[in-house]
Amino acid sequence: MWKFTTLTRINFHKSKVRYVEIYNFENLVYVKCLNCRQMKISFKCLGMFVGDNIRKSTFWNFVVDKIRTRLSIWKDTKLFMTGQICLIMLVIIVLSLYDFSFFKATTVVYNQIRRIQAKFLWGWDFEDRKIAWVKWDKVCSPVEAGGLEIKDIRYFNDALLAKCK
């Protein structure tokens, strides 16, 4: 009853094979049989690296680099404090939401992102270092408590992980 007008074919030259928990010899047999390439154990799927160790800071380098490059685009522009706060909140939320909802980041990653946020907010450069007039914990506190309501990345990560459970 079903009629297909087009034939579906797999392009084995573009395909990759990787079996988990089998020996490398058996994996090579499957690769030769299907006439395709062998996939490395760590690969990128939907923008995330699968198979890497999430406890290493090198796993999180792409997130930190994305945040650094997006905020560095706006570094030379003259923005009011409210514009800087909005940019910090939006960039952190948008760029880290997907990754932080799956994995718990390390303390090194938290500190790197917090340092990038603080440098952007207070306008630090490589040559001159300006004074941070308020502690970062106070900056992250709600407006009612006298803060700027910038999300603390550690609590943001914990909240996203608790939401998924």
Task: Identify the pLDDT of residue 165.
Answer: 56
pTM (2 decimals)?
0.71
* Three-state secondary structure of the chain: CCCCCCCCCCCCCCCEECCCCCCHHHHHHHHHHHCCEECCCCEEECCEEECCCCCCHHHHHHHHHHHHHHHHHCCCCCCCHHHHHHHHHHHHHHHHHHHHCCCCCCHHHHHHHHHHHHHHHHCCCCCCCCCCCCCHHHHCCCHHHCCCCCCCHHHHHHHHHHHHC
Annotated domain spans of the chain? 1-39, 46-164
pLDDT in tens, 80-129: 878 888 888 888 878 888 888 888 999 999 999 988 888 888 876 656 66
